[in-house]
Amino acid sequence: MAKRDFISITDLRKPEILGIFKQAKVFKKKPFSKRDALASKSIALVFQKPSNRTRVSFEVGIFDLGGHATYLGPEELKLGVRESVKDAAKVLSRYLDGIVARTFSHEDMLLMAKFSTIPIINGLSDLLHPCQGLSDLFTIDEKFGKSDIKISFVGDGNNVLHSLLLGCSVLGRDIHVATPAGQGPNAEVLEKAKSEAAKSGSKIELTNDPVECVKGADVVYTDVWVSMGQEREKQKRLSAFSGFQVNKELLSHAKKNVLVMHCLPAHRGEEITDAVLDGKNSIVYDQAENRLHVQKAILLKLLGG
């Protein structure tokens, strides 16, 4: 059987995503229900950048499924510096059954997938964060079922937003986005999301006005304004995002029981206030937990056969 990668949410169709959600729900209740699914299988975590949630959730998930995880961090492999992505992918394919990759460049992610003969799971690139996106949409379904709700994203047009756009469009969920001028989503990703939305019947609405975006929202999502690798641009970016902070004032325009999401890590006091992040409407830790359950379902689908 030909190997299958998970680089983008659009690598899966709606029935497959719903199947992953169904399995994740089982894993949440019965963590060891597929204890031998990855028995005798070894999976590497090849990371160009450090990680908390992605690393730990995948390592624990692989263990729960009976597999073995090998972590190759920024200093061990120095992917693309000490050794070319092509050579690393070819060699690791001889040792392993799968790779979870976390790269700065999306091009490196695509090269890993091109030259490996084993499944590659995108644990984050500068363009996409599909495991996060699926976990977020699973969390939203968990809270609201399949009811018609308003999902609003306020902040940077980054990899998290890209995967939310793609996930919502495949599943038929409407999404409203507010970004500062010049900080919107990648044009190619947006075009792909619009194409998927046309098939599923969902709507994508873009604005530069955060208040307009969150009016009547059931969910308000934000992420950092300064991502890893953008530290030199910090002051410029903070200035550009002035007025986009998710705080009590902004949330006063949303529904009374609006749920607040953030993929973490958060820069408290920048894109979100402590009062909101730690408040009763915050579900950020539910999101973080659900990374484990959803990623186990992804591992099972790609490697559990």
In this prediction, what percent of the chain has a pLDDT beyond 70? 98
Nearest to 108 by CA among 93, 118, 97, 123: 123
**Contacts for 53 with CB less than 8 Å, ≥ 6 apart:** 264, 288, 291
Burial of 252 (0-12, 13-18, 19+ CB in 10 A): exposed
* Per-residue pLDDT at 76: 85
Residues in the chain: 305
Which SS3 state, helix, strand or coil, does residue 69 take? strand
Per-residue pLDDT tens over the stretch 179-200: 999 999 999 999 999 999 999 9
Residue 268 forms beta bridges with which residues? 272
Least confident of 71-80, 102-111, 125-134: 71-80
CA distance 25 to 9: 19
In this prediction, residue 228 carries a pLDDT of 65
Alpha helices in the chain (DSSP H): 14-29, 53-64, 74-77, 85-95, 106-115, 130-144, 159-171, 187-200, 210-214, 234-240, 248-251, 274-277, 284-303
Q: Where residue 1 falls among pLDDT bands split at 50, 70, 90? A: low
- Report which DSSP code applies to 130: H
Return the SS3 of 220: strand
How confident is the model over 146-177, as pLDDT tens digits? Answer: 778 999 999 999 999 999 999 999 999 999 99
Give the integer Cα–Cα distance in Å for 91 and 69. Answer: 17
Which tens digits make up the pLDDT trace of 200-238?
Answer: 999 999 999 999 999 999 999 999 998 766 677 788 889
What is the pTM assigned to this prediction? 0.96
Which residues are designated catalytic?
A: 102, 129, 132, 223, 263, 291
Residue 81, pLDDT > 90, answer no
Are residues 165 and 175 in contact, defined by beta-carbon separation less than 8 angstroms? yes
Residue 64, pLDDT above cutoff 70? yes
Q: Which domains does the chain have, with CATH numbers?
A: 9-128+291-303 (3.40.50.1370), 130-287 (3.40.50.1370)
Q: Is residue 85 over pLDDT 80?
A: yes
Asked whether 145 and 173 are in contact (CB, 8 A), the reply is no
Average pLDDT, the chain: 95
pLDDT reported for residue 82:
84
Q: Which pLDDT score, from 0 to 100, does residue 176 have?
A: 98
Q: Across the chain, how many H-helices and E-strands are there? A: 13, 9
Q: Please, what is the Cα angle at 31 between 40 and 63, to 5 degrees? A: 30
Whether residue 280 has pLDDT greater than 80: yes
In SS3 terms, 190-205 reads as: HHHHHHHHHHHCCCEE
pLDDT in tens, 15-36: 999 999 999 999 999 999 999 9
